């Protein structure tokens, strides 16, 4: 079922700009500075039906995609504050995404929010209908446009990370990189496509109502000419982009530890997975923009691009 034509879900704001909202224009182009007039716009089965499994009854409410309204209480509080008090939703980070021939900055916004009833200061991250809330003490660098991410390795002694500079790539590998950038920009150019491609392999009980087992992004990558099955730079690049990280240090060290890594990267290098999927999960789009890797009980091995 497609989204009604009257509700545009295009996120393209100019020739190479992308917004983090549900749309760049029209009723879904609401922002914390200009919030929607009513909660109708949070009932995703009505405004974003294209993100749901065919088994979902679209007449039932799914608030921000969640079947339980209480799960999304922090978001209702956030948007209620934005409506009642102009300026209450203070931005920490709010820049449009940008695309060039060799670089992609993802659209993502971060806003101050004190989560109730626990009264913990933190921030709401938003991107194309996906939301995460993070405590300020876990992410102290948001205002600087940077984020700390955690990836648990279990008992694995080595964390392997693809490392390269696009300017140093060989001509064949740069063509792979160019196709990858174009593909990522295309996936981010529409909020329904963006939502579906970042949740396409998140197969959990909490996400059973979504199109969460389609591996849509892989299909689009292969259509774009990326050789995902054959060993090479395209396969390594895609595998790196599918690695999940957490915004929560306890997830990396506890749930998926004891060996883990902490990486630092720009906020505009993230795709975020919606809050009710659990684990405060995100992915990194461009591994070459990882600024720092700190290891805990393991070693890091940087892998150069495979030459064709």
Residue 87: predicted pLDDT: 73
| Whether the predicted pLDDT of 2 surpasses 50 | no
pLDDT tens for 89-117 read: 889 998 899 998 889 999 999 999 999 88
Q: What percent of the chain has pLDDT over 70?
A: 98
What average pLDDT does the segment 70-88 reach?
90
Split at pLDDT 50, 70, 90, the class of 6 is confident
Angle at the Cα of 280 from the Cα atoms of 235 and 293, rounded to 5 degrees: 55
Instruction: Note the Cα 143 to chain centre separation in Å.
Output: 18
pLDDT tens for 220-230 read: 999 999 999 99
Output the 3-class SS for 153-215: EECCCEEEEECCCHHHCCHHHHHHHHHHHHHHHHHHCEHHHHHHHHCCCCCCHHHCCECCCCC
Instruction: Determine which helix (DSSP H) or strand (DSSP E) holds 40, and give its type and residue range.
Output: none
Cα–Cα distance list, 20 to 75, 242, 272 (Å): 16, 20, 11
pLDDT tens for 117-151 read: 889 999 999 999 999 999 999 999 999 999 999 99
Tokens describing residue 241: 């982009």
Angular region, 184: left φ>0, alpha ψ -120 to 50, beta rest: alpha
Strands of 104-105's sheet in order across: 17-18, 97-99, 104-105
Split at pLDDT 50, 70, 90, the class of 1 is very low
Split at pLDDT 50, 70, 90, the class of 24 is very high
pLDDT tens for 178-217 read: 999 999 999 999 999 999 999 999 989 899 999 999 999 9
Which residues neighbour 230 within 8 Å (Cβ) at sequence distance 6 or greater? Answer: none
pLDDT tens for 247-295 read: 999 999 999 999 999 999 999 999 999 999 999 999 999 999 999 999 9
Mean of the per-residue pLDDT values of the chain = 94
The closest alpha carbon to 72, from 39, 48, 109, belongs to 39
Q: Which residues pair with 262 in a beta bridge?
A: 150, 294
β pairing state of 259-266 and 292-296? antiparallel
Split at pLDDT 50, 70, 90, the class of 308 is confident
The domain locations on the chain are 91-303
3-state helix, strand, coil in the chain (%, to 5): 30, 30, 40
């Amino acid at each position: 079922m497609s989204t009604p034509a009257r509700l545009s879900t295009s996120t393209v704001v100019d020739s190479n700009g992308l917004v983090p909202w549900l749309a760049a224009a029209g009723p879904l182009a609401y922002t914390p500075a200009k919030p929607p007039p009513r909660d109708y716009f949070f009932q995703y089965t009505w405004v974003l039906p294209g993100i749901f499994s065919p088994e979902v009854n679209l007449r039932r409410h799914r608030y921000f995609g969640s079947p339980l309204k209480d799960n999304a209480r922090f978001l209702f509080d956030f948007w209620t504050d934005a409506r009642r008090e102009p300026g209450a939703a203070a931005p920490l980070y709010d820049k449009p995404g940008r695309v060039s021939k060799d670089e992609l900055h993802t659209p993502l916004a971060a806003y101050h929010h004190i989560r109730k009833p626990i009264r913990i200061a933190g921030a709401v991250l938003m991107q194309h209908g996906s939301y995460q809330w993070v405590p300020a003490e876990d992410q102290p660098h948001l205002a600087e446009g940077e984020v700390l991410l955690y990836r648990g390795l279990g008992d694995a002694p080595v964390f392997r990370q693809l490392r390269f500079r696009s300017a140093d790539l060989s001509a064949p590998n740069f063509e792979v990189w160019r196709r990858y950038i174009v593909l990522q920009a295309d996936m981010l150019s529409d909020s329904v496509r963006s939502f579906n491609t970042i949740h396409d392999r998140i197969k959990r009980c909490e996400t059973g109502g979504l199109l969460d087992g389609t591996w849509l992004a892989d299909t689009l990558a292969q259509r774009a000419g990326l050789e995902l099955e054959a060993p090479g730079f395209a396969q390594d690049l895609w595998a790196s982009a599918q690695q999940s990280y957490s915004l929560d240090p306890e997830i990396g060290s506890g749930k998926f530890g004891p060996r883990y890594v902490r990486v630092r990267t720009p906020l505009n290098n993230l795709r975020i997975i919606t809050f009710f999927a659990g684990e405060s999960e995100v992915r990194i789009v461009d591994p070459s923009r990882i600024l720092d890797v700190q290891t805990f009980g393991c070693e890091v091995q940087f892998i150069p691009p495979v030459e064709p």
